[in-house]
Structure 1
Amino acid sequence: GIQPEGRKDELAQLRERILKAGMGEEAEGRALEEVDRLEGMPPQSAEATVSRTYIDWLLALPWSKLADDHLDLEEAERILDEDHAGLEKVKARILEYLAVMRRLRDRNAEAPLRGPILCLVGPPGVGKTSLARSIARALNRPFLRFSLGGVRDEAEIRGHRRTYIGSMPGRIISLLKKGGVRNPLMLLDEIDKMGSDWRGDPSSALLEVLDPEQNPTFQDHYLDVGFDLSQVLFLTTANVRHQIPQPLEDRLEVLELSSYTLGEKKAIAHAHLVPKALDRHGMADLGITFEDAAVEKLVQAYTKEAGVRQLEREISAVLRKLARQSLQPGPFDARVTPDRLPGLLGPERFLESPLGAQPAAGVVNGLAWTPTGGDLLTIEAARLPGKGVLKLTGKLGDVMQESANLALSFVRMRADSLGLAPDFLEKTDLHVHLPEGAIPKDGPSAGITLATALISALTGIPVRADLAMTGELTLRGAVLPIGGLKEKLLAAHRMGCRTVIIPAENARHLEELPEEVRRELAIHLVKTMDEVIPLALVRT
């Protein structure tokens, strides 16, 4: 057919743009082929529109455009520290990555550095997403966020083939177009919350994105040509490590973020939360100050969390009340002191220290790990007249019930050395309860705690009230290592325990503890149950 002049020019311009776009050979060939096809189609036909859209997508992608990396290590470190208190391990890892890039740049090496694929795992509100944002700022790269929570369709990641009407590329390619460079920082948020259904399994589609061997030629179904993702710095986040699909976790470098200590929370509140909240509520000019003791009380009496989200809400609640007071006649008090908090926020929600004041027989403090941080777990044991039945309550899981049975067998084996009659169980029932009754509990790490509670209940010797313990017990009385130690010890410290008993094999994890916690806790490392008994029981 005879082409009108304007159309010819337009197609010639398209060809020129394609040749200038710096695509790979494969993509360039495909785009030019598509222009040839477009030439033979009536310009108004639906097919021409589809073709034109495809060419536009190919032209819009950053085939060769790179963000100018900001490789000043000191500056990057300053930005990271300015935005976040704590989180040393993650910051160190990012600065190492920068240092390697800097070395490559200085040697003028052509080989581009493949971006590492880091996974930040930690409880909600400890700053995973905001850390990713400040890493992008430190590197001077565009920040692209893809939230995977509830994604169940593989096409969300890889796009739909062009044979479908209205098909589009997947989110990865769309985000790259939006970022405009081929080395952005891409955050894949909530990687542990993907679903899967009959439309395919998105976590398997992500394997290609996150595998350094495959991602230089990532194939989107819509584009159907390889796009190089090896320059993208991928960061992923998750709340619970074991919920990340196994093949995916295999390709990630997991960095665990733990909950903040009281000291860190206070620093974060003063440096970030309060100034930000004052700004947001339009109250920066009122000279409002939070006393250190007031922030401490907010953290300990009004929140119970691993991160700082609830703390942020409470600070906002205080400011809302003050905003109203500032508009009422009469003097305005701009200082927030601990004594004003109950008047502003109501009575304290969490009692400062739930430890029993007096040592009691059969009551022991255990330590538990939950997805929102560590917690103190009281275990109560009582002896009742009966026929030797062990009764367990408190919604315990299978592993914990086995733990309790094992603890009882251990006590029976040691009856002699504990000063119990060999037939002590014939006329006695034992009841073990773990408050709070409605919360499910499971896991083997309360082994020594259960055994101590039983021994204390049977001998009538009370257990120290300011002591907490954790460790798995074997039938021979050996104490095995447990997980989540840092979170558990932070919880013990937060709840006012002074002495903690932990398995000797966990000694290597003590380095992760903040200085203030190590200073204020007396930590006993034990290998056998025989070492636990004299530490725990108070012989009067």
Structure 2
Amino acid sequence: MYPTTLTVIPLENKVLLPGVVMRIALRGQEATELMRRFFKKTEQQVIYVVCVPLQPSKITDIDDCTSQAPHVPISPQQPPSMTNNDQQDKLVSPVQQVRLPSFGCLAKIVRVQRAGVGVFGVYLEGIQRCQLVDTMIKKDEPLMYHVKYNQDITSSKDNRVVEGYQTLCKTFVHKMKELQMPDSLLLQLTKMTSTMAPLALADVLVSIIETTFDEKWTMLETLDPMQRLHLASSLMQRQLQVLSISQQVHSTIEGKLTKQQREFYLRQQLDAIRQELGQEQKDEDEMTELNRRLVEANMPSHAVVVAQRELKRIKRLQPSSTEWAVSRNYLEWMADMPWTKRTDDFVDIQRAKQQLDDDHFGLDHVKKRIIEYLSVIKIKGDLKAPIICFVGPPGVGKTSLGKSIAKALSREFHRLSLGGIRDEADMRGHRRTYVGSQPGLVIQGLHKVGVNNPLMLLDEIDKLVHSSHYGDPAAALLEILDPEQNNGFTDHYLNIPFDLSKVLFIATANNLDTIPEPLLDRMEIIHLHGYTFEEKLHIARTHLLPKQILAHGLDLKDVIISDQVILALAEHYTRESGVRNLERTIASIVRAKCVELAALREKSSPNNDQVVNKGYCPEVILEDLRTILGVYKFDKEVAEREDVPGVVTGLAYGGSGNGSILFVEATRMPGKGGNLQLTGSLGDVIKESAQIALSWVKAHAYTLNLTTTRRMNIVEHDDVHIHFPSGSIPKDGPSAGVTLVCALVSLFGEWQVSSTTAMTGEISLRGQVLPVGGIKEKVISAHRAGIRKVILPWRNKKDVDADVPVSVKMDIEFIYCKTIWDVLNAAFMKNNDKQKWSPTTRMTLESHL
């Protein structure tokens, strides 16, 4: 026997029939008390409740309900902690009062899940029809209701109705087989039709087939068994008729429509059937919506196969399982990837030139390469995107140049910061077997921009961590940046090829030394050198100064800085290759003027601007720099240096596009003789250059009139010490050979080299001057330091003609040398009137030239 005093659970827009399992969401004090009873029960105990259907839209008059129906607290509101799976479930909560019908369905609680804070997902199994009798109220306890059960009795004269209904059920199962329903569902339907009693089978099938809420309500409140069988038979006959019509229409159009058209037609047909049945149009469920997005993604055939297989798999999983969430996330990534979406390249060469000139001053060789690429696209219509790598010091505009190229191409722009990336999975993605897996940075970037042909900037590619225990991310970039392979790039998360050939990759780096050779081979290197003072003046005047004035809330007329002041900032406060520190320094000056203007406005009347204008001076002069920025941070290195024998100025390349002048100091001292001591944090290459320089000077000491006989050792009783100042800075490279020779010759001959003369180049043991790199950076740094004569290898003449700005070449005298004798002649004989060359030495040098 079942209990006669039970708790009532009202179901809004739902009907629970005997033999059917339904999931609902419960909340509130009564729900919490009910769940506490369920979890405290023993294995033999069963928790029974009464489920009563309720449709608020149908119950408009309380008097229409049974007078004996008690009030119960219900609420269809949904807590914010509900998941998507529970959004279609109604919740029980004490908010408003509505009368219940006098009939319901006895149910037992089968299973309970926590669906949120104070929310429970309850699985109920319908058992038997019952009627509500009256209410039993106890203090401090939830409402309980007396119920009366109804027995189903059939007579032998009703066998014809029973057999007719069983025949309809078998026909329904056969129709399901024709429609190729899943085997698991067919097996369950066949088992039910052969084993269940007709009345129980009627309740179950009415819940399965297409029926409205009112029809299920009528099925529940009908107590006469034969009337229920008649009702179930009529509903089954209607369902079979709908299936027959659908099958005929489907077979008629099957050979005329594509797969996507057929799916669209059937979806529209299903909506029309629901409207004819009086059921309101419902939103597409989650899987239907996901399937629609997959269809609209226009994926290639190999991706469609994977997506269909995963979609079939997710339909067999429970929404509460972890695998369901992983598969759903994967399908959402597949649906949102831009498989065919792209932006049209709007190529206007003149507009692109204007865009590049407006955004960047100088950089003519970079602009030339970009215009070449755009011109080929305009003529050919399409071009495999090159992999360009901008290499240069910080602050020269590598990243902003990528944005300008994207504007010129009318493409989407996305920046990937690669500095410090140490995990290979960041580039190739994580496999789906790991918790929290996601695609790599490249696929994430494409997903974010929504097109398959953006401009993707790989920023700081030289800062990647190489060969860590997480893998080598630089090696993972090989396939991404190879134009012959990236049309089938396979991300570990998607696990299917994706075409990256339409993406225009642009990389930036400060130094090429840390980029692996295989990766470097896949990129086209474009060097961006440092700016000259004239270029910095133009950039500050047209871009940096207006930007900072407006950023600080001032007008352009409130801060006036002359060209002389800007040049002083670049020369004495921000000695760099780029303009980043120059912009910060200008910002400091603008802030100082803001302080001055704010102080004057506080003293004057808020509405009297004339007082402010009289006391405020917008112009910044040279004397103001020391007050605002302090003393000079940099002085010209050669401005105060006197000409001293044994001290020569060289040129060095400091990496990242930075050049500098380098002093070489040599001295002799009593010792064992022939020992060479080197200091200044030197590398092996520059130490070997010093050995070669000393050997050459010893070999040609008699020719240079430094000894009286050919067999005399110039360092027989002396040791030599060569020092490079700024000892905390590491120095290495093959470009200091000629400087070391000149320093030793100046030391032993007591001849002076002018402080405004600098040189660079490597020498061989036979005295040949070999070419070196970084000419533009070295020459610009020499010009910045006040050098007026530069001695260079002969084979570096083409570098000066191609790279050095005209304004710098006009201020510096360049002398190109093939041998070390040319260098000595340029450094000593053509210096000034202070040199005291002996006639023998002068004749010797002239004979070698």
Equivalent of residue 518 in structure 1, options 809, 812, 817 = 809
Equivalent of residue 339 in structure 1, options 613, 617, 623 = 623
Q: Which residue of 1 aligns with 2:293?
A: 17
In the TM superposition, residue 14 of structure 1 has moved relative to its aligned partner by: 3.6
Task: Please state if 1:376 is matched with 2:661.
Answer: yes
CA–CA separation in structure 1 for the residues paired with 2:476 and 2:580: 33
Q: Which residue of 2 aligns with 1:501?
A: 791
- Which amino acid is 2:670 matched to? P
Q: Deviations over 1:300-340 (max 9, x none)?
A: 01111111111111111111111101112371111112222
Q: What does residue range 522-537 of structure 1 map to in structure 2 within 5 Å?
A: 522-537=813-828
CA contact (8 A) 1:187 1:236 kept: yes
Q: Which residue of 2 aligns with 1:109?
A: none
In the TM superposition, residue 9 of structure 1 has moved relative to its aligned partner by: 5.9
Q: Which residue of 2 aligns with 1:429?
A: 719
Instruction: Sort the Cα spacing of 1:65 and 1:393 in 2 relative to 1 into closer, same or farther, 3 A.
Output: same
In the TM superposition, residue 7 of structure 1 has moved relative to its aligned partner by: 9.8
Q: Deviations over 1:336-385 (max 9, x none)?
A: 12222112111111013434554321111000001241000011112333
Task: Please state if 1:52 is matched with 2:344.
Answer: no
Q: Which residue of 2 aligns with 1:241?
A: 512
Task: Please state if 1:181 is matched with 2:457.
Answer: no
CA–CA separation in structure 1 for the residues paired with 2:551 and 2:522: 40
**Which of 436-445 and 223-232 deviates more?**
436-445
Determine helix, strand or coil for the equivalent of 1:199: coil
Unaligned runs of 5+ in 2: 1-183, 186-207, 211-281, 601-611, 837-849
Q: Which residue of 1 aligns with 2:702?
A: 416
- Please report the RMSD computed on the Cα atoms of aligned residues, expressed in angstroms: 1.8
Q: What does residue range 22-101 of structure 1 map to in structure 2 within 5 Å?
A: 22-101=298-377
Determine helix, strand or coil for the equivalent of 1:138: helix
CA–CA separation in structure 1 for the residues paired with 2:686 and 2:758: 18
Determine helix, strand or coil for the equivalent of 1:295: helix
In the TM superposition, residue 488 of structure 1 has moved relative to its aligned partner by: 0.6
Determine helix, strand or coil for the equivalent of 2:729: coil
CA–CA separation in structure 2 for the residues paired with 1:436 and 1:13: 68
- Which amino acid is 2:394 matched to? P
CA–CA separation in structure 2 for the residues paired with 1:441 and 1:172: 38
CA–CA separation in structure 2 for the residues paired with 1:410 and 1:446: 14
In the TM superposition, residue 4 of structure 1 has moved relative to its aligned partner by: 9.6
CA–CA separation in structure 2 for the residues paired with 1:252 and 1:145: 17
TM-score by structure 2 length? 0.61
- Which amino acid is 2:454 matched to? P
Q: Which residue of 2 aligns with 1:365?
A: 649
**Which of 333-342 and 348-357 deviates more?**
348-357
Instruction: Sort the Cα spacing of 1:355 and 1:10 in 2 relative to 1 into closer, same or farther, 3 A.
Output: same
In the TM superposition, residue 22 of structure 1 has moved relative to its aligned partner by: 1.6
Q: Deviations over 1:176-215 (max 9, x none)?
A: 0101110000011111111131121111111111111111
CA contact (8 A) 2:668 2:718 kept: yes
Task: Please state if 1:305 is matched with 2:576.
Answer: yes
- Which amino acid is 2:565 matched to? A
Q: Deviations over 1:33-84 (max 9, x none)?
A: 2222222223443322222211111110111111122201111111111111
Instruction: Sort the Cα spacing of 1:387 and 1:34 in 2 relative to 1 into closer, same or farther, 3 A.
Output: same
Instruction: Work out which of the two has the higher radius of gyration on C-alpha atoms and give 1 or 2.
Output: 2
- Which amino acid is 1:418 matched to? L
Q: What is the identity percentage for the equivalent residue pairs of Structure 1 and Structure 2?
A: 47
Q: Which residue of 1 aligns with 2:753?
A: 463
Q: Which residue of 1 aligns with 2:164?
A: none
Q: Which residue of 1 aligns with 2:406?
A: 136
**Which of 229-238 and 42-51 deviates more?**
42-51
Q: What does residue range 103-252 of structure 1 map to in structure 2 within 5 Å?
A: 103-105=379-381, 112-195=382-465, 196-252=467-523
In the TM superposition, residue 155 of structure 1 has moved relative to its aligned partner by: 0.7
Determine helix, strand or coil for the equivalent of 1:463: coil
In the TM superposition, residue 10 of structure 1 has moved relative to its aligned partner by: 4.9
In the TM superposition, residue 89 of structure 1 has moved relative to its aligned partner by: 1.4
In the TM superposition, residue 423 of structure 1 has moved relative to its aligned partner by: 2.9
**Which of 260-269 and 424-433 deviates more?**
424-433
Equivalent of residue 404 in structure 1, options 690, 695, 713 = 690
Instruction: Sort the Cα spacing of 1:9 and 1:303 in 2 relative to 1 into closer, same or farther, 3 A.
Output: closer
CA–CA separation in structure 2 for the residues paired with 1:215 and 1:94: 22
Determine helix, strand or coil for the equivalent of 1:32: helix
**Which of 496-505 and 16-25 deviates more?**
16-25
Instruction: Sort the Cα spacing of 1:281 and 1:523 in 2 relative to 1 into closer, same or farther, 3 A.
Output: same
CA–CA separation in structure 2 for the residues paired with 1:86 and 1:37: 59
- Greater relative contact order (Cα 8 A, min sep 6): structure 1 or 2? 1
Determine helix, strand or coil for the equivalent of 2:377: helix
CA contact (8 A) 2:461 2:515 kept: yes
CA–CA separation in structure 2 for the residues paired with 1:367 and 1:234: 35
**Which of 72-81 and 330-339 deviates more?**
330-339
The size of the alignment, in residue pairs, is: 534
CA–CA separation in structure 2 for the residues paired with 1:526 and 1:25: 66
CA contact (8 A) 2:290 2:332 kept: no
CA–CA separation in structure 1 for the residues paired with 2:209 and 2:442: 38
Q: Deviations over 1:100-132 (max 9, x none)?
A: 111122xxxxxx421110001111111111111
CA contact (8 A) 1:321 1:344 kept: yes
CA–CA separation in structure 2 for the residues paired with 1:458 and 1:533: 14
In the TM superposition, residue 281 of structure 1 has moved relative to its aligned partner by: 1.2
Instruction: Sort the Cα spacing of 1:521 and 1:83 in 2 relative to 1 into closer, same or farther, 3 A.
Output: same
CA contact (8 A) 2:768 2:819 kept: yes
Q: Which residue of 2 aligns with 1:439?
A: 729
Determine helix, strand or coil for the equivalent of 2:513: helix
- Which amino acid is 2:646 matched to? G
Q: What does residue range 225-304 of structure 1 map to in structure 2 within 5 Å?
A: 225-284=496-555, 286-304=557-575
In the TM superposition, residue 404 of structure 1 has moved relative to its aligned partner by: 1.0
- Which amino acid is 1:359 matched to? D
Unaligned runs of 5+ in 1: 106-111
- Which amino acid is 2:664 matched to? I
In the TM superposition, residue 285 of structure 1 has moved relative to its aligned partner by: 5.3
In the TM superposition, residue 494 of structure 1 has moved relative to its aligned partner by: 1.0
CA–CA separation in structure 2 for the residues paired with 1:240 and 1:67: 33
In the TM superposition, residue 437 of structure 1 has moved relative to its aligned partner by: 2.1
Determine helix, strand or coil for the equivalent of 2:483: coil
Q: Deviations over 1:109-163 (max 9, x none)?
A: xxx4211100011111111111111111221111111111111111111111112
CA–CA separation in structure 2 for the residues paired with 1:424 and 1:224: 73
TM-score by structure 1 length? 0.95
Equivalent of residue 327 in structure 1, options 598, 604, 607 = 598
Q: Which residue of 1 aligns with 2:670?
A: 385
Instruction: Sort the Cα spacing of 1:439 and 1:4 in 2 relative to 1 into closer, same or farther, 3 A.
Output: farther
CA–CA separation in structure 2 for the residues paired with 1:285 and 1:423: 70
CA–CA separation in structure 1 for the residues paired with 2:743 and 2:359: 45
CA–CA separation in structure 2 for the residues paired with 1:534 and 1:332: 58
